[in-house]
């Protein structure tokens, strides 16, 4: 009879641990569902904008008379483009304006974006993982980018070859 009681207690403890782990996992998933675009708006203010026209979602970062724009078909979740832009501005873009942005962003935020888009991550390979996620997002969601310069109120655009840029990193 004592054996049955011991097993019952062990079984109950096992169930409690499973419930605890399950709840903790759900909390992590909820914590990872933060909207990257809203976070970018908070951190970068009016220098970042989002637009949807003609079936294309575009996010544009314009800190001065130049811009980097990123777009993809709106048939995909715009969250994927927001995640891509967040990682691109953090790791790739060479705007010196982003130095303060990079200092404000905690590595946990970057890890959350990577985890949302990649099932496993090694902390020591954060940049490689970010590049891998960005390559995947470019390929899977047809993300495009352009560099925009305003000269005498005229908008001039040059396509950014994202595949080449990401390969160089």
pLDDT band at 111 (very low <50, low <70, confident <90, very high): confident
List Cβ neighbours of 131 (8 Å cut-off, separation of 6 or more): 91, 166, 169
Q: What local confidence, expressed as pLDDT, does residue 122 receive?
A: 56
130 plus 163 within the same structural domain: yes
pLDDT band at 120 (very low <50, low <70, confident <90, very high): very low
> Sheet harboring 154-160: ordered strands across?
48-53, 56-61, 66-73, 144-151, 154-160
Domain count, the chain: 2
For residues 78 and 151, membership in a common domain is answered with: yes
Co-location of 59 and 104 in the same domain: yes
DSSP 47: G
Domain that holds residue 24: 1-31
Do 62 and 118 have their domain in common? yes
Residue 56's pLDDT is: 96
Q: Measure Cα distances from 82 to 12, 32, 85 in Å.
A: 44, 14, 5
Task: Clarify whether residues 46 and 16 are in a common domain.
Answer: no
Q: Are 107 and 126 in contact (CB under 8 A)?
A: yes
Do both 83 and 119 map to the same domain? Answer: yes
Structure token pair of residue 130: 């970010």
Pair 68, 112 in one domain: yes
Any bridge partners for residue 51, and if so which? 58
Residues 61, 5 share a domain: no
Q: What does the pLDDT look like over 21-64, one tens digit per residue?
A: 444 443 333 344 568 899 999 999 999 999 999 999 999 999 99
Per-residue exposure over 80-117, b if at least 16 CB sit within 10 Å of its own CB, e if not: bbbbbbbbbbbbbbebeebeebeeebeeebbbbbbbbb
């Amino acid at each position: 009879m004592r054996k049955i009681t011991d097993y019952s207690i062990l079984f109950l403890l096992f169930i409690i641990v499973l419930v605890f782990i399950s709840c903790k996992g759900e909390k992590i998933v909820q914590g990872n569902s933060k909207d990257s675009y809203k976070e970018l708006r908070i951190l970068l203010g009016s220098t970042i904008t989002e637009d949807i026209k003609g079936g294309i979602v575009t996010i544009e970062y314009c800190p001065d008379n130049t811009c980097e724009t990123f777009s993809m078909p709106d048939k995909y979740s715009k969250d994927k483009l927001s995640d891509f832009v967040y990682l691109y501005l953090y790791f790739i873009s060479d705007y010196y304006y982003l130095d303060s942005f990079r200092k404000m962003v905690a590595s946990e935020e970057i890890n959350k974006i990577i985890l949302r888009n990649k099932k496993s991550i090694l902390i020591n390979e954060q940049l490689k993982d970010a590049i891998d996620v960005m390559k995947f997002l470019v390929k899977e969601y047809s993300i495009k980018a352009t560099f925009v310069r305003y000269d005498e109120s005229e908008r001039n655009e040059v396509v950014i070859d994202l595949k080449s840029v990401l390969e160089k990193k």
